[in-house]
Amino acid sequence: MEHHLAWKPYCRPFRTPLRTAYGEWAEREGLLVRLEADGAVGYGEVAPLESFGTESVLDAAEFLDALAEDPDLEVPPQFVCTRFALDCAGGALRKTPKRTLHVSGLLPAGITAYAALQTLLNQGFTTFKWKIGVEPMEVERQLCAELFKLLHGKGILRLDANAGLSYEETEEWLEFLEDYPVEYLEQPMEPGNEASMAVLAERYAVPIALDESLCGPGALLKFAEFFPKGPFVVKPSLIGSVESYQAWRSFHSGVRVIYSSAFETAIGIEAALRLAAQDEFSSEAVGFGTLEAFPHDDVLGGHPYGPTLTAGTLTSGDYEAIWNRL
């Protein structure tokens, strides 16, 4: 059986360093994977988020080298990004119908969110995500009230704390948000605090969504018990096996799932969109506001940033061109 595996590293600087509760992030590093097997060529992307607990780019690269030598090696279960990339390169998402998805716009942390919201509203976005847990809480709540005023009747806001809040701060935010049309508060506390977050979610009207908590083998299964309706923010690049994920999804169709990107190149974006497009139970706006985070002349991009995105548009020629440009 013919089997040829290759990978290339990439490094993409953000237009402006990203500010989240984890601090500043200046450039995105990852790997593109090309797999030629039995005459078919496929591509995948390893886009790790180590702050979420994934493998590192270096770990992935070392494993892929070993796998190129010995195609029978098993992917370690904790190498979730590598598993997803290899599944994609092996054609797991090749047959995806074209489907158009609504996109949630990404607002920068802090005061610049206000101007960004105005711009995105003008572009036709109706769902927005804002990062909190970056500035002092009092400052963020004043800003948040202003954002809601600007949004009034025109859209909905999701807040993402990136695990940066304590139990008390989470409760203060939930109390504050009860007066506003917020869609959910995303991952207020660090992974490991799911039981506490479930208690708070019971007590307040504002849903608590999990994101960081869902990284790693078995997490989706485990936390669907605490949060039987979700919402779960699923980053396809971090799910591991496509087949296992889709099996989980078909048994947990009542969980609200919001698909979200992890700052991938066009290859990873397309894979994430395809996974979202195949999910007949989710019609939530997808979190792909990340597209705007890179310079417009970046040769590894390809999807236009706008209020909708269509899965299944990247051609085999596009994949090859991106691979060759790197």
> Considering the complex, what minimum distance in angstroms separates the CB of residue 36 from Mg ion?
35
Place of tokens 């990978």: 7
* Closer of 55 and 186 to Mg ion (Cβ): 186
Whose CB is nearest to Mg ion? Answer: 211
Least CB distance to Mg ion at residue 117 (A): 18
Nearer to Mg ion, 86 or 214 (CB): 214
Binding residue for Mg ion, selected from 55, 140, 160, 194, defined by CB under 5 A: 160
What are the structure tokens assigned to 276, written together? 């979202």
Asked whether the beta carbons of 44 and 266 are under 8 A apart, the reply is no
Q: Are 43 and 274 in contact (CB under 8 A)?
A: no
Among 55, 59, 211, 264, the residue binding Mg ion under the rule CB under 5 A is 211
C-beta of 52 vs 79, nearer to Mg ion: 52
Chain center to CA of 281 = 18
CA distance 255 to 239: 16
Decide whether 159 or 242 has the Cβ nearer to Mg ion.
Answer: 159
Structure tokens at 49: 């988020």
Between CA 165 and CA 312, with CA 210 as vertex, the angle to 5 degrees is: 130
- DSSP 3-state assignment of 1? coil
Residue 7 vs 173, nearer CB to Mg ion: 173
Rounded distance, CA 221 to CA 258, Å?
16
Pick the piece of the chain touching Mg ion (CB under 5 A) from 52-60, 112-120, 182-190, 193-201: 182-190
User: Count of residues binding Mg ion (CB under 5 A)?
Assistant: 3
Stretch that binds Mg ion, among 50-58, 113-121, 175-183, 211-219 (CB under 5 A): 211-219
Q: Tokens standing for 91?
A: 């054609």
**Which of the stretches 46-54, 83-91, 159-167, 191-199 binds Mg ion when contact is defined by CB under 5 A?**
159-167
Q: Which tokens belong to 307?
A: 């209020």
Provide the binding-site residues for Mg ion, judged by CB under 5 A.
160, 186, 211
